[in-house]
Amino acid sequence: MKVRPTRDMEVISAWRASVVRWQARRRPYAVSASLLLATGAVALGASYWLPAVLAVCGVLAVFAALTVLLLQRVLEYGMLSCPHCGSRPVSGRESAAGAEYCGHCLYWLNPPFGPGSTDHHGGS
């Protein structure tokens, strides 16, 4: 039996709003993680010529960057849930932001045939 996902524009618009909120919250984490990784790389590279204190600072900066990335992932789990059933639309380690439809309730999260389509055959 072939099952087709249900298309509900309220669910699609609620999903878009939550993804936009998530992207706005994610940006500072991504910037801070990149800065911490760059700082860690520079400190580890300079530790060859300078004291070992820089090596320790570099390792701590890399550890802090990984912690920031982990926090970003944890926030994604809490913020991106299906507006229809409330569960996470994808399983495993996939990012929920790119989900086409919810794997639990089979509701579309992104428009199946583009933003302007009105039917299930791809036309406008």
Domains of the chain: total: 1
34 domain residue, yes or no: yes
For residue range 15-74, what is the model confidence (pLDDT) as tens digits? 889 888 888 877 776 777 777 777 777 776 666 666 776 677 777 777 777 787 787 777
How far is residue 72 CA from its own chain's centroid? 8
For residue range 89-102, what is the model confidence (pLDDT) as tens digits? 887 777 777 788 88
Range of the domain at 57: 9-98
Cα-based distances in Å from 107 to 23, 87, 102: 22, 12, 6
Q: Tell which wins on pLDDT, 122 or 30.
A: 30
123 domain residue, yes or no: no
Q: Is 18 helix (H, G, I), strand (E, B) or coil?
A: helix
104 domain residue, yes or no: no
